[in-house]
A and B are shown apart, each in its own frame.
Chain A
Amino acid sequence: MRQRGWEEDRTAIAIDVRKSDTAIICEDNFYQIPPKADAEFARALTEALSGKVPKATFGMKPKEILELANVLKKAEFGVIFAGLGLVYSMPDISPMKNLLEAMNKKTDFHLMPMVGQYNMRGFNHTLFDKTGYINRVSFEGENTYHGPQCSVVEVLKEKRADAALIIGSDPLSSLPGRIAANLKEIPTIVIDPCKTFTSQIANVTIPAAVTGVECKGEAIRMDGVKVELTQMRKSDKMADADIIEKIMEAI
């Protein structure tokens, strides 16, 4: 319990390359940094938390970074919501790891990765439970492999896939154009409740029920909370999991 309640006693800080809707809400607690400055910013903040004078080459004054570090130190429980841009701009995540270590020497801080789509975290939870990996897993033969070389981008770029089963995703829209175009050259099957750019080029499209509307199911929210979804209306469409089971039976 807090003296003035959680609503009043919480502090939100936005660090972004643009003034997002969230940044507008954060008002004075918004720090705009240039693109690709994430690692340098994390390093400077780590220095400030460790009692050193931070250095930043992109125009943020040491005093500003020290003040920010002081706010973070005073938090009793903190969470970093890491956006997609942070992942994309950091080939090596050690600056973030060091920052979290420095924060946790002073107080209790956690990191929560943001995801771009519904139930992305649910997918990765399941994948992690089954394989011990997150994203980019290859099931070749008996073994499972993991790494950048297994990413859908690399697999399609090098034309290693000779068929694609796409479930609840629209790679034609979300992958780099040149790579997405390679999908048109191989047989594709799309299982999705919606018509998508990818379903339009697919050789086979199987419409699936919408979870939480036409079938029941489970999803994991971005904060890791499991949500039970119930069926709201009757439908003769099958859930995606049932479709896959039927395909497996046939195989």
Chain B
Amino acid sequence: MGFDQFLSSPEMEILIITHRDIFQSAASSHSRFSDDYANLTAIIRLDKQDMKKAGLKEGNLVAVENSAGKVVVKALQSTYEEPHPGTAYMLNGPWVNALVSAETSGTGVPAFKYIEAKMTKSKESSITSFE
């Protein structure tokens, strides 16, 4: 039994920006239920320093939560050269949409691309399933 479980993992406030990706779109048209699709979509990409601060290693599972909902996804370091502390990136899909508020400020369009949430290392053994 590891010692890790007795260490508290710090909670971190992050801003999630969503985008689309051609490889994910291709996996999506093949099958929304494929591992490829989940492996590309149930991912949060974080700044290198943010990973360190949250006590995360590449591929650790994180719980991301706000008033709209909660999901467990895999944390990976972002591929951007420039640092972007406090900002994380996710690909459009059911995982990140679980965190999108229903509030539209009268526009009829929710804030799909600007999501504030809290993130901690997760004790779950797998990502959130939508099947």
> Are B100 and A19 in contact, CB atoms less than 8 angstroms apart?
no
Chain B interface size, under 10 / 10 to 19 / 20 to 34 / 35 or more: 35 or more
Residues of B within 8 A of A157 (CB): 102
A-contact bits for B105-127, CB 8 A (1 contact / 0 none): 11111111110000000000000
> Known: A173-B93, A176-B101, A179-B102. Contact between A85 and B20, CB under 8 A?
no
Closest CB of chain B to A150's CB: distance in Å? 7
> Known: A19-B80, A173-B32, A177-B99. Contact between A153 and B113, CB under 8 A?
no
> Are A195 and B112 in contact, CB atoms less than 8 angstroms apart?
no
Residues of A within 8 A of B39 (CB): none
Closest CB of chain A to B76's CB: distance in Å? 15
> Known: A18-B17, A35-B17. Contact between A176 and B97, CB under 8 A?
yes
Partner of B97, one of A17, A21, A151, A173: A173
> Are A88 and B113 in contact, CB atoms less than 8 angstroms apart?
yes
Residues of B within 8 A of A175 (CB): 97
> Are A173 and B69 in contact, CB atoms less than 8 angstroms apart?
no
With both beta carbons as reference points, the residue of chain B lying nearest to A179 in the complex is identified as B102
CA A180 to CA B130, docked complex, whole Å:
12
B-contact bits for A53-89, CB 8 A (1 contact / 0 none): 0000000000000000000000000000000110111
CA A25 to CA B94, docked complex, whole Å:
29
> Are A18 and B19 in contact, CB atoms less than 8 angstroms apart?
yes
Question: A197 on the interface (CB 8 Å rule)?
Answer: yes
Main secondary structure of the interface of B (DSSP, over half): loop
Question: A149 on the interface (CB 8 Å rule)?
Answer: yes
Partner of A196, one of B32, B84, B108, B112: B32
> Are B94 and A197 in contact, CB atoms less than 8 angstroms apart?
yes
CA A180 to CA B97, docked complex, whole Å:
9
CA A78 to CA B109, docked complex, whole Å:
28
Residues of A within 8 A of B112 (CB): 84, 88, 176
> Are A153 and B105 in contact, CB atoms less than 8 angstroms apart?
no
With both beta carbons as reference points, the residue of chain A lying nearest to B93 in the complex is identified as A173
Question: B26 on the interface (CB 8 Å rule)?
Answer: no
Partner of B104, one of A20, A21, A154, A170: A154
> Known: A18-B17, A18-B80. Contact between A195 and B104, CB under 8 A?
no
5 extra interchain contacts, Cβ-Cβ under 8 A, other than A89-B113, A148-B107, A170-B32? A89-B114, A116-B20, A177-B100, A178-B69, A200-B131
B residues sitting closer than 8 Å to A (CB atoms) are: 15, 17, 19-20, 22, 29, 31-33, 68-69, 80, 82, 84, 87, 89, 92-94, 97-102, 104-114, 130-131
By Cβ-Cβ distance, the 8 closest A-B pairs, closest first, are: A151-B108, A148-B108, A177-B98, A176-B100, A173-B94, A177-B69, A85-B113, A91-B107
Could you list 26 A-B pairs, sorted by A, with CB under 8 Å?
Answer: A18-B17, A18-B84, A19-B80, A35-B113, A36-B114, A89-B113, A89-B114, A91-B105, A148-B104, A148-B109, A151-B108, A153-B102, A153-B104, A154-B108, A157-B102, A173-B32, A173-B93, A176-B68, A177-B94, A177-B98, A177-B99, A177-B100, A179-B110, A180-B97, A195-B31, A196-B32
